[in-house]
Amino acid sequence: MMDHKEARLHGDTSFISRYQAHLGEFVYGGIDGSVTTFAVVAGAVGASLDSSVILILGFANLLADGFSMSVGAYLSAKSQHDNFEKHKRIEYWEVDHIPETEREEIREIYRSKGFQGEL
């Protein structure tokens, strides 16, 4: 069991630490949302639309952008995870069915990293 000092070092629960892994997505989403919303609102202003219509278009664009970005981020993460799991299953199958080939593959990896001698 960790003592309190170590738990505090490794268990940071501040707002930033909880969302740090997603910070890049927040920044990208914010920039993308700002640019596209500005473009929609600027186009509506340029078309001399009523201010209530401009506000509705701006908010509708923000909602659509938010939904689009979240679905895109989810599908991207899911496809990365699925691809990793597929390759993991292949490696486990190879270890079970062609173990000597896998041992040789590991030896080659170590040799390519500069290990010498009997592996």
Is 119 a domain residue? no
Q: Which residue has the tokens 């010498």?
A: 116
Per the structure, how many domains does the chain have?
1
Is 53 a domain residue? yes
pTM more than 0.75: no
Print the SS3 string covering 56-102: HHHHHHHHHHHHHHHHHHHHHHHHHHHHHHHHHHHHHHHHHHCHHHH
Is 118 a domain residue? no
User: Can you give the residue range of the structural domain that contains 24?
Assistant: 4-112
Is 117 a domain residue? no
Q: What is the pLDDT of residues 15-57, one digit of tens each?
A: 777 778 777 888 888 888 889 999 999 999 999 999 999 999 9
Distance CA 109, CA 24 (A): 32
